[in-house]
Amino acid sequence: MDDMVDSSIFPPASSVYGTTLREHVLSGMQAAPGATGQFTSLLNHISLAIRIISSRVRSAGLAGMLGYTGKQNIQGEDVLKLDEFANDVLVEALERSGHCGIIGSEELDEVRVPGSAGKYVVLFDPLDGSGNIDTNGCIGTIFAILRRQPGELLPVVDEALRPGREIVCAGYTIYGPSTTFVLSTGHGVDGFTLDPNVGEFFLSHPNIRCPARGNTYSVNEGNYSTWAKGVQDWANAMRTPDPELGSHGLRYSGAFVLDAHRTLLKGGVFAYPADAKNGKGKLRLLYEANPMAYILEQAGGAATDGINRMLDVQPKALHQRTSLVLGSKDDVARFAEFAKRG
Ligand code: AMP
Ligand code: P6P
Give the mean pLDDT of 43-61: 92
CA-nearest of 264, 169, 167 to 208 is: 264
Q: Which residues pair with 177 in a beta bridge?
A: none
Answer whether 253 contacts ligand 2 (Cβ < 6 A). Answer: no
CA gap 224, 233 in Å, rounded: 10
From ligand 1's centre to the CA of 107, what distance in Å?
27
Each residue's pLDDT tens digit, 31-50: 999 999 999 999 999 999 99
Domain boundary among 177, 205, 233: 205
Specify whether 52 is located in the same domain as 166.
yes
Each residue's pLDDT tens digit, 149-187: 876 566 688 899 999 999 999 999 999 999 999 999 999
Q: Which atom of ligand 1 lies nearest, measured to the CA of 147?
A: 10
Each residue's pLDDT tens digit, 271-293: 999 999 999 999 999 999 999 99
Specify whether 261 is located in the same domain as 305.
yes
From ligand 2's centre to the CA of 79, what distance in Å?
15
Specify whether 287 is located in the same domain as 141.
no
Look at the pTM and tell me if it is higher than 0.85: yes
Residue 10 has pLDDT above 80, yes or no: no
Predicted pLDDT of residue 237: 96
Residue 3 has pLDDT above 50, yes or no: no
Q: Say which range, 37-51, 58-72, 318-332, has the weakest mean pLDDT.
A: 58-72
Residues within 6 Å of ligand 1 by CB = 25, 28-29, 32, 35-40, 147, 168, 185
CA gap 58, 19 in Å, rounded: 24
Query: How would you classify residue 82: left for phi > 0, otherwise alpha for psi between -120 and 50, otherwise beta?
Result: alpha
What is the average pLDDT score of the chain? Answer: 92
Q: Give the burial class of 219: count Cβ atoms within 10 A of its Cβ; 0-12 exposed, 13-18 middle, 19 or more buried.
A: buried
Specify whether 24 is located in the same domain as 118.
yes
Q: Which residue has the higher pLDDT, 14 or 301?
A: 301
Predicted pLDDT of residue 133: 83
* 8 belongs to a structural domain: no
CA-nearest of 147, 126, 156 to 46 is: 126
* 10 belongs to a structural domain: no
* 175 belongs to a structural domain: yes
Q: Which ligand is nearest to the CA of 255?
A: 2
Predicted pLDDT of residue 226: 96
CA gap 183, 50 in Å, rounded: 13
Each residue's pLDDT tens digit, 182-223: 999 999 999 999 999 999 999 999 999 999 999 999 999 999
Domain boundary among 180, 205, 230: 205
Q: How confident is the model at residue 104 (pLDDT cuts 50, 70, 90)?
A: very high
Residue 249 has pLDDT above 80, yes or no: yes
From ligand 2's centre to the CA of 272, what distance in Å?
9
Answer whether 201 contacts ligand 2 (Cβ < 6 A). Answer: no
Specify whether 156 is located in the same domain as 77.
yes
Specify whether 59 is located in the same domain as 110.
yes
Longest Cα separation, the chain: 58
From ligand 1's centre to the CA of 186, what distance in Å?
10
Q: Which domain holds residue 153?
A: 17-205
Residue nearest to atom 3 of ligand 2 (CA): 129
Q: Which ligand is nearest to the CA of 184?
A: 1
Angle between the 38-58 and 21-30 helix axes, to the nearest 10 degrees?
A: 160
Predicted pLDDT of residue 4: 47
From ligand 2's centre to the CA of 253, what distance in Å?
9
* 210 belongs to a structural domain: no
Check which CATH number belongs to the domain holding 39 and give it: 3.30.540.10
Residue 62 has pLDDT above 80, yes or no: no
Pocket test for ligand 1, best of 43, 185, 192 (most atoms within 8 A of CB): 185
Long-range contact list for 188-193, CB < 8 A, 24+ apart? 188/298, 188/299, 189/264, 189/295, 189/298, 189/299, 190/24, 192/21, 192/24
Q: Which atom of ligand 2 lies nearest, measured to the CA of 259?
A: 9
**Residue 247 near residue 241 (C-beta atoms within 8 A):** yes
Q: Give the burial class of 289: count Cβ atoms within 10 A of its Cβ; 0-12 exposed, 13-18 middle, 19 or more buried.
A: buried
Q: Say which range, 66-75, 81-90, 123-132, has the weakest mean pLDDT.
A: 66-75
